[in-house]
Structure 1
Amino acid sequence: MLRLPYRSYLYSYPHKTAYREFPSPLPLRELWASEPAESFFLYMHIPFCGARCGFCNLFTLPDKRANVHEQYVDALERQARQWGPVTSHKPYARFAIGGGTPTLLPARQLKRLFDIAVKDMKVDLQQVSISVETSPETITKEKLAILRDHRVDRVSMGIQSFVAEESAAIFRPQDPAEVYRALDKLTKNRFPILNLDLIYGLPGQTEDTWMYSLQEALRFDPEEIFLYPLYTREHTIVKPDDIRQHGEDQRLAYYTLARDYLIGRGYVQSSMRRFAKAGTTSMKQLLDYSCQEEGMVGLGCGARSYTRHVHYASRYGVSRQATASIIADYVAADDYSTADYGFVLGPDEQKRRFILKALLHREGLRLADYHQRFGSLPADDYPELNLPLLSGMAYEKDGTMYLSDEGLSCSDAIGDWLISAEVRERMEGFVLA
């Protein structure tokens, strides 16, 4: 059985720690002119939050100053004015604002993000699925009205735990009363999709407190729930010794308990982490957009952009000093027309990405789709893919390779296992500031 210590997971491939400076800057106009995706995904990154949680290694900076937020949105608007003519020649199917905490921004700056999307990036808010991340302490009537007026159809809120002691143990300043207040406001606004995030394996957590948090979340009838194991990573406040009480088998037990509970209440599992009510979707008539996430336009410092052949971003840091420095460089820039940091995907990495992005989701890896793109079959290119088939962690049906229930529970190990030697060497050689 494949197993991996709970320290990381791949939500994209290649991993951001495999990115390096390009030998020479790449003109974005050329990158996007040749991008074959039929529709694009616009992502805006707001790298500010109220406080850094103990498990977080995302590109975020605890900073509540309104003037800092305004200067950042000014820079994002400059970037959008340069990128719009380059990336808006095809329609956008999705638009997401993440972070950090986008709703930490003052209401005026939050509204500007939508104005920038429409005016500079040519996003049709009537036609795209729009997702915004938030946090309990930033929910206000005025900000929810902005989201509703701009046709946001998915709001995602990280709660992690309804138990105050567990939140405190991961250095998350969160009052349960404030969580309930925020959830009441969200449910009264009736966004089509409410997503709630919870974490298992927290210091001091037991099966009873874990299920308590899950049951409290279900009281608000969310359309989606994401379940994350607690990871420790370089530069996170929570360290491996803080979570020693939860061994791998116990974490798996927490996951299995919650999975079975949610499925028993009508939720459908689409990945190791995502559970959604059957039929959950945007109410809009949406353009098709591949789960491969090619054609992702990442605006803002810390956002990643994906074309089929090149992934690029600003530099990555976690410490306050490194993050503040990278943001300062972004805000001071005048020219955003080239990519100078990222990863160029050759044929092997494109194949691995295709397999990972498909196989780790319930939809599975369609062999005909792979063959159409690459002219071969996955098992011919990577004979090791027969191992999960032989071990019962995957199965093949009607020309599609799926992970079994056991395979889904081991998604992180499978993702890690499929990393190429080159990408792994780069990841291991990355020095995180």
Structure 2
Amino acid sequence: MFDLTFPDPSDDAAIVRWKEEVRAKPYRSYLYSYPHKTAYRELKPGLPLAQLWEKEPADSFFLYMHIPFCGARCGFCNLFTLADRQPGLHRQYVDALERQARQWSPFVSRKPFARFAIGGGTPTLLAPELLDRLFDIAEEVMGLNPEHASISVEASPDTVTPERLDVLRKRRVDRVSMGVQSFVEAESAAIYRPQKPLEVVRALERLKRYDFPVLNLDLIYGLPGQTVQSWLYSLERALAFQPEEIFLYPLYTREHTILKPQESRRDGTDLRMECYLAARDRLAAEGYVQSSMRRFAKPPAHSGKTVLPYGCQEEGLVGLGCGARSYTRQVHYATRYAVSRVASERIIREYISADSYETADYGMVLDSREEKRRYILKAVLHQEGLALPAYEERFGSPALEDCPELQVLLKAEWASSSDGILRLTDEGFAHSDAIGDGLISPQVRERMEGFVFA
């Protein structure tokens, strides 16, 4: 395995070598949560949710619902999702989600929800009446106040119908996120994504007519057959619809996925980095502000809401549905994770048939070291950066001592510290995935490497 472990912060020569190694192989993995879901294991005995949430210190919570159904599984996808359009199965699933919500509500509804998101999968694959019912569950069972919560829903081009958009507008959704990935038909076909460019354009035109405060579009670079020129063509097509947000994702090789990315050009350079840099500069010229390696945004239109604040470290995340994760400060938990169709279908069936959801049976208990590591990692990989005084106030020790890797980033000039906040530089952002991978603790990495995919 190619090792990009952070060097000793006192070894200047090793830091120089490390920088060159990262530049040569900048793409390791996409670490969007910490600890990663492959570090989860069975919790014996199960932990009662009433006790987990009783002393959760967050002032507000994040409510998330996971809908693990898609029209088809894309070639790059290793998420917990099932290609299944059966309305009967969808209804059984929503029945189970409501049953789970009613059992969880006494534990988690004591504080307001600042955010509500429905993801997947493809939530808008559900029939309009089932989609509408999710909002009933959120408001009537969980106590969501749509006046004080930012509400986000994921969609795909083939499910953007007037009937579904009517539901989203009625329910005061202020962010719709749609995966496009590419506007080039051959590139979409290469990732086993059955969509036509005209279908994408029709969906975007319809979304613009509904005028949601935030439209987010996802694009992927490093696709088979893609060039920098074809990548920028897709970016320009997306920009023509003036989305408030654009997320740019590099293609990765993952366990149990069909697709493999282009490794490099003949000269050994990674095409993905060239695509990233070209897109980053183009978006900056259009007035987009970069807040992470992936997210570029303009100030959105005001939704008319007074949205409650929510911390970027994402504690107090209440995840309903099979495949959703929940985060308290010391325990992260979820249903079991799988990618294969057989295993995913079995887990979903078990969730649907369950009578009780009142214990956390699968996840990870975070010790103080992992709490610190998570706090640092989540802050450093975003533009807000790591507030060093706030860290020391919370944990009672300096972040630069608890995490010597931060000293390496400063010496490498991939991070800077000003007014008590440590932030990545532009080059540091460009290498966020390698930095994030390097910040995984040895204990969590060992658990991840020991995970067996079903």
Which bracket does the TM-score occupy, shorter chain normalised?
Answer: over 0.9
- Residue 204 of structure 1: how far off its partner (Å): 0.5
| 1:322 pairs with 2:322 | no
Structure-2 separation of matches of 1:281 and 1:321: 44
Question: Does the Cα contact within 8 Å between 2:373 and 2:403 map onto a contact in 1?
Answer: no
Conserved in 1, the CA contact under 8 Å of 2:174 and 2:213? yes
Report 1:176-325 matches (<5 A). 176-239=197-260, 248-278=269-299, 282-325=303-346
Q: How does 1:16-415 map to 2 (within 5 A)?
A: 16-239=37-260, 248-278=269-299, 282-415=303-436
CA shift for structure 1 position 340? 0.6
TM-score with structure 1 setting the length: 0.98
Cα distance, 1:278 vs structure 2: 3.8
For 1:89 and 1:37, locate their aligned partners in 2 and report how far apart those are by CA, in whole Å.
11
**What 5-or-longer segments of structure 2 have no aligned partner?**
1-18
SS at match of 1:110: helix
Whole-angstrom distance in 1 between the partners of 2:163 and 2:224: 36
Change (3 A) 1:276 1:171: same
> Contact 2:125–2:159 (CA<8 Å) still a contact in 1?
yes
Q: Percent identity?
A: 66
Deviation at 1:429, TM superposition (A): 0.4
C-alpha separation between the residues in 2 aligned to 1:212 and 1:383? 42
Letter in 1 for 2:406: L
Q: Which moved more, 1:265-274 or 1:376-385?
A: 376-385
Q: Distance in 2 between matches of 1:172 and 1:46?
A: 19
Distance in 1 between residues matched to 2:307 and 2:324, nearest whole Å: 23
Residues 196-223 of structure 1: per-residue CA shift (max 9 Å, x gap):
0000010000111100000000010000
What is aligned with 2:5?
none
Name the amino acid aligned to 1:422.
Answer: Q
> Structure 1's 336 and 248: CA in aligned 2 closer, same or farther, altered over 3 A?
farther
User: Matched residue of 1:363: which SS?
Assistant: coil
Deviation (angstroms), 1:15: 0.3
Distance 2:246 2:185 in 1: 20
Under a length normalisation based on structure 2, what TM-score does the superposition of the two structures give?
Answer: 0.93
**Preserved contact between residue 193 and residue 281 of structure 1 (Cα < 8 Å):** no
Please give the secondary structure, in 2, of the residue aligned with 1:35.
Answer: coil
Q: Deviations over 1:147-181 (max 9, x none)?
A: 00000000000000000000000110011111001
1:114 Cα offset (Å): 0.3
* Bigger mean CA deviation after superposition, 248-257 or 307-316: 248-257
Q: Deviations for 1:210-269, whole angstroms, at most 9, x for unmatched residues?
A: 0000000001000000000001101001035x6555965321111000000000110000
Q: Give CA deviations for 1:314-344 in whole Å, capped at 9, x if unaligned.
A: 0000000010000000000010000010000
Partner SS state of residue 341, structure 1: strand
Equivalent position amino acid for 1:97 in 2: I
The Cα shift of 1:6 comes to 3.3
- Taking the aligned partners of 1:296 and 1:154, their CA distance within structure 2 comes to 18
SS at match of 1:317: coil
| Partner in structure 1 of residue 8 of structure 2 | none
| Partner-residue secondary structure (3-state), 2:189 | helix
- The 8 Å contact of residues 33 and 86 in structure 1, kept in 2 or not, is answered as yes
CA distance in 2, matches of 1:281, 1:323: 39
> Measured at CA, do residues 138 and 7 of structure 1 come closer, stay the same or move farther in structure 2, by a change above 3 Å?
farther
Letter in 2 for 1:383: P
Cα distance between partner residues in 2 of 1:409 and 1:280: 28
Decide whether aligned partners of structure 1 residues 281 and 293 sit closer, same or farther in structure 2, where only a CA change above 3 A counts.
farther
Give CA deviations for 1:333-381 in whole Å, capped at 9, x if unaligned: 0100000100000000000000011000001000011011101111111
AA at the equivalent of 2:369: D
Q: CA deviation at 1:279?
A: 5.7
Secondary structure of the 1:225 match is strand
Contact kept? 1:37, 1:295, Cα under 8 Å? yes
CA distance in 2, matches of 1:301, 1:68: 13
Tell me the C-alpha RMSD between the 2 structures: 1.3
Aligned-partner SS, 2:270: helix
Alpha carbons 2:290, 2:296 under 8 Å: kept = yes
SS at structure 2 position matched to 1:26: strand
The answer to whether the 8 Å contact 1:7/1:233 transfers is no
What does residue 12 of structure 2 align with? Answer: none
Unaligned runs of 5+ in 1: none
